Structure 1
Amino acid sequence: MRILDTHDEVLRRLTHERQKVFAKFTSDNCPTCEQLTKPFIRLSDDPAFENILFVRLNSEENPVAKQMMQEKVAPFFVSYCQGQLLECDTLFTEEEVKNMILRLRHYMPKAS
């Protein structure tokens, strides 16, 4: 399993250190979070996504995540490329999660 359980401060650092990061923000007692746990693990182990760092944060334990999710519900997913937030949304199905990861995988950052 290539999922790193982390918190706000480390996530901020990782999004700048790693080219591509995919984050899952969860909440306690969230049925959809639980339902997407196995697919999230499976996708993180998929060789097609080996260049993406998968991280998981508990939104209740992380102030920045909690603020980010004020208008959203868990599970909330965020994709980053070179420190830039690309997409963020509440997702409910494995297909939605996989599609967001595929968009991140295919995203080509502009050369500076």
Structure 2
Amino acid sequence: MAVIDANDINFEKLLKTNDKVVVKYFAGWCGSCRLFKPKYKRLANDERFEGIAFLDIDAEESPNARALAGVNNLPFFAIFKDGKLVEGGPMSKEDAVVELIEKLK
């Protein structure tokens, strides 16, 4: 599945229309965020995670979505199930992100 660009306008709707969601919060100035982008795209297309929606949110442009997950550092990853936050945290290691996503299975 492709990575979906999300923002404050469509975030709530995306949470309601997808049972399982992983969100990457980033900022344009964040070097670690840019480095993780191809890894995130690869994870979104990984068949292990079929049925999980992968969202990308610019944390600086979407304060409401940022607040919903309690973003305090970037890059920040959060998982949602049935519209509710399950877990989230700042991380830049692919293994840690995979471990987080696997909690949605």
Alignment TM-score, normalising by the size of structure 1: 0.85
Query: Given residue 17 of structure 1, which amino acid in structure 2 is its aligned partner?
Result: T
Work out whether 1:103 is the aligned partner of 2:89. no
1:89 matched to 2:89? The reply is yes
Matches within 5 A, 1:17-36: 17-36=17-36
SS at match of 1:16: helix
- Larger helix proportion, structure 1 or 2? 1
Please say if residues 8 and 64 of structure 1, whose CA atoms lie closer than 8 Å, have aligned partners that are also in contact: yes
Count of residues in Structure 1 that have an aligned counterpart in Structure 2: 103
Q: In structure 2, how many angstroms separate the alpha carbons of the residues matched to 1:90 and 1:39? A: 16
The yes-or-no answer on 1:79 pairing with 2:79 is yes
Cα shift at 1:19:
0.7
Distance in 2 between residues matched to 1:85 and 1:49, nearest whole Å: 18
Structure 1 residue runs without a partner (length 5+): 106-112
Alignment of 1:43-82 (within 5 A): 43-67=43-67, 68-69=70-71, 72-82=72-82
- Contact 1:25/1:65 (8 A) holds in 2: no
**CA apart distance, 1:41:** 0.6
Mapped partners of 1:63, 1:84: distance in 2: 17
Deviation at residue 43 of structure 1 after TM alignment: 0.4
Q: Is the 8 A contact 2:25 2:66 kept in 1?
A: no
Counterparts of 1:85 and 1:66, CA distance in 2: 12
Indicate the structure (1 or 2) with the bigger Cα radius of gyration. 1
Quote the Cα distance in structure 1 between the aligned partners of 2:50 and 2:63: 29
Q: What is the CA deviation profile of residues 4-53 of structure 1, one whole-angstrom value per residue up to 9, with x for unaligned ones?
A: 00102311111111110111110121111012111101100001111000
Q: Secondary structure at the match of 1:55?
A: strand
Whether the 8 Å contact between 2:15 and 2:83 is mirrored in structure 1 is yes
Give the RMSD, CA atoms, in angstroms. 1.3
- Identical aligned residues as a percent: 29
Secondary structure, counterpart of 2:103 in structure 1? helix
Q: Secondary structure at the match of 2:57?
A: strand
